[in-house]
Structure 1
Amino acid sequence: MTTVKAYAAKQPKGPFEPFEYELGDIAPDEVDIAVESCGICHSDLSMLDDEWGMAQYPLVPGHEVIGKVSSVGDHVTHVAVGDRVGLGWHAGYCMICDQCMGGDHNLCPDAQATIAGRHGGFADTVRAKGASVVKIPEGLEPAEAGPLLCGGIAVFNPLMQLDLKPTASVGVIGIGGLGHLALKFANAWGCHVTALTSDSKRDEALQMGAHDTVNSRDADAIAAAAGRFDLVISTVNVQMDWNAILATLKPRGVLHMPGAVTEPLGINVLPHMMFNQLSLSSSPVGPPVVIRKMLDFAARHKVAPVNEHFPMSKVNDAFEHLRSGKARYRIVLDRD
C-alpha cells in the first residue's frame, strides 16, 4: 500500500485542503509517477466547479503531470523506474475498441479521464495505465513542459489530423492558455499565422509567433479578412459571430474549435459553408502517438508554454489567479 499526499476540494468551488488516500497494489499495466510539477488547466477549474456534471468529491485535479516513474507493473516495458514522464487528460484506454486499435485512443468511448473517477496530479504520486504515460524527450525543460500535455496537444492535434500544409495560412482566435501555444506551433509548422485578438495583445501575439493580427472585436476588421485562411483555430469559450469567422476561410477551409463553447453556435449553411465547401470540426486532446510527436516537435523547435509558477501548497492562490483572468498564460504547480 502507498499513502498518497494530495490536495483535494471536498465540494464544488470549495477550497483545496490536504488530503491523503491509499493506492493498492500496482496492476501489471500501470505506472506510478512521483510528481515533480503539474500544470493547472481551465478544465481543472471546470471540474472544481462541476460545470460538466461529472466531478466527484473529494476531487484531486491535475492532468498536466511531469514526474519520474517510481513503480511499474510487470507488463509495462516502454518506461522504467527513474524515467521522466508526462501524463495528460487521459489516464487509460480500453485498448480493444476500433478507435484504440486504429491509434485514435483519445476517441475511445471508455477512455479514463485522469481527474474524473480517479485522483489526479495535485499530489506527490499519481497512478495511470502505462499506455497513457509518455517519456519527456531531451531538449524540453521538464518544469515548463506540463501544459503541453493538455493545452499543447489540444492545438497541436488538429495540425496533424487535418494534414495541414506548411504553406497554409492559419488564424488563431484568442491568445490565452491555448491560443499562445497555437501561435507557436503553427509558426514552427511553417504556416503564415494571424492572431485574431484584441489590439492590447498585438505585441505579445507577434512575439509568440504571429506574423500579423486582426482585431477580433472589430467587425469591419474581421470582414476585411474574408477568404484569407485555410484554417482558423478558435481557442475561446465565448460566443462570437461564427458566420463572420467562417467568411474568413478560403474554399475548403476549416474552422476548428478546441475551445469549449457550451452554447449553440448559430451557424448558417448558406452562403459560406455550402458554396465554399467549408468544414466545422473539433477534437479532444490527442492520442499517445501524437502526444509523443508533439513533444519531439516542441523539443526540436524550442516550443514552450509561457508559464507562471506557484508552489503546490499555494494551490488556492493559484486557482484564484486563474479565476481572475490574469494568468499569463499557463500556471504550473511545483512540488514543495
Structure 2
Amino acid sequence: MRAMVMERQGGALELRELPIPQPSAGELLLKVAACGICRTDLHVVDGELTEPKLPLIPGHQIVGVVEALGEGVAGFRPGDRVGVPWLGGTCGECDYCTSGRENLCDRALFTGYQKNGGFADYCTADSRFCFPLPAGYPDTQAAPLLCAGLIGYRSLRIAGPGKRLGIYGFGAAAHIVTQVATWQGREVYGFTRPGDTAGQAFAREMGACWAGGSFDAPPLPLDAAIIFAPAGELVPAALRAVGKGGIVVCGGIHMSDIPSFPYDILWGERSIVSVANLTRRDGEEFLKLAPQVPVRTEVHLFPLEQANEALAALREGRIRGAGVLVP
C-alpha cells in the first residue's frame, strides 16, 4: 500500500510503499476511502504534540470499508462502511473509563498519533472505537464529521444552552458547529483573523448572524464562546465578549500560552474550560444528530500524495471548510 509517513517531527511526510497491515485480535482492516485533515495533524507533524509513535502514518478522520476482521470482532462484517475517530483505544479500567470519562484515560491511544492513521490506502483500527456512518453522506463529506464534527459537538454541549454563541477560528469544526447551533435556535457570532473578509462571509453563509475580526466586540454580550483557533491570546478576547455567567470553551488539543489578563474580565462568574478528546457516546449522539440538521460539510479534496501541500494549506488558512485526503 501507499502511505504518507512521518519519520521525524518538523519534517515533510514521505510517500512510501508498505505492506498492508494485518488486523490483530479485536481490530478491523479498512480500505481507506477518505481521511480528513485536522489541525491536530498539524500539531503532530509540527512537533507541538510531543509523544508520537515514530515512524508514524498520521490521520484520524478516517472513512473506510471493512476488508477483514481480526479474531473476536463482533458487530461488523466485510463491506461495512465505518468511521475511525481520534480516540483509538482506552484501558477500560481506570476511574475515568469507569465513570463515563474515557476521553481522559491516562492510557488512551490516539489514531494518527500513537496508532497509525488514515494517510494511507489501508489501516487497522480497534473495532470497539469505530462508528457505523449515517447513510446519505458521501465518503469525503463524512470524513470531517469524525473529528471536526465530534469535538465541535462536545464543545457545543459543554458551552451550555445559551442563546448567543461566539465561535473563534472559523474552520472545519466551526462550520459544522454553526449549522448545529443555528438548527437549535441559537444566534452564532463568527470571529476570524482580522481582515479575513472571505472567512467572515463563509461564517455568514453557514448561518452566523454576525461575523468580524477576532478582537472585535460583538454587538451584544455573548452567553458562551468556543475557541477553535490555537491562539492563547483569544482567551482574554473571548472573556471580554461574554457577559456575566458566560463560559469560554477552549476546543483544541493544543494552544499557545494564554497571556495574563485582568481579573475583572473573569469576575462575574465567567469561566474557562478546556475540551479533551471525545467519548464514544459523543460519536454516537452526533452521528445520529448530523442527518437531522442536516449538517453539510464543505470540503477541499487532495490526493493522498499531496498530504504535505494539504497540511500547508491548512496551516496558512487557505482551506474553506475542511480538507480531505482521497487515496
Question: TM-score, normalising length from structure 1?
Answer: 0.88
- Which of 131, 136, 139 in structure 2 is aligned with 1:139? 136
- Which of 75, 87, 106 in structure 2 is aligned with 1:109? 106
Q: What aligned pairs does 1:274-313 form with structure 2 within 5 A after superposition?
A: 274=267, 276-313=268-305
Check whether the contact 2:300–2:324 (CA below 8 A) recurs between aligned residues: yes
Report the residue type matching 2:264 in the other structure.
Answer: P
Kindly indicate whether residue 82 of structure 2 is the aligned counterpart of residue 85 of structure 1.
yes
Check whether the contact 1:168–1:230 (CA below 8 A) recurs between aligned residues: yes
Q: What aligned pairs does 1:59-70 form with structure 2 within 5 A after superposition?
A: 59-70=56-67
Report the residue type matching 1:233 in the other structure.
Answer: I
Q: Which residue of 1 aligns with 2:184?
A: 189
- Which of 7, 17, 20 in structure 1 is aligned with 2:18? 20
Deviation digits for residues 266-310 of structure 1 (CA, Å, limit 9, x no counterpart): 244x32423x21110011231111112111211111213211001
Q: Which residue of 1 aligns with 2:124?
A: 127
Report the residue type matching 1:174 in the other structure.
Answer: G
Q: What aligned pairs does 1:1-336 form with structure 2 within 5 A after superposition?
A: 4-12=1-9, 13-21=11-19, 23-24=21-22, 26-27=24-25, 29-162=26-159, 164-165=160-161, 168-197=163-192, 198=194, 200=197, 201-218=199-216, 221-222=217-218, 225=220, 228-240=221-233, 242-259=235-252, 260-268=254-262, 270-274=263-267, 276-335=268-327
Moved over 6 A (4+): none
Q: 1:243 to 1:317 in 2, by over 3 A?
A: closer
Number of aligned positions between the proteins: 322
Check whether the contact 1:242–1:266 (CA below 8 A) recurs between aligned residues: no
Q: 1:103 to 1:81 in 2, by over 3 A?
A: farther
Report the residue type matching 1:255 in the other structure.
Answer: V
Q: 1:177 to 1:280 in 2, by over 3 A?
A: same
Deviation digits for residues 215-251 of structure 1 (CA, Å, limit 9, x no counterpart): 3344xx35x64xx222100111124363342132233
Q: 1:147 to 1:322 in 2, by over 3 A?
A: same
Check whether the contact 1:306–1:329 (CA below 8 A) recurs between aligned residues: yes
Check whether the contact 1:177–1:329 (CA below 8 A) recurs between aligned residues: yes
Identity of aligned residues (%): 28
- Unaligned runs of 5+ residues in structure 1 are none
Q: The residue matched to 1:256 in structure 2 has which SS?
A: strand
RMSD across aligned positions (CA): 2.2
Report the residue type matching 1:290 in the other structure.
Answer: D
Cα distance in 1 for residues equivalent to 2:210 and 2:14: 41
Question: TM-score, normalising length from structure 2?
Answer: 0.90
Q: 1:239 to 1:332 in 2, by over 3 A?
A: same
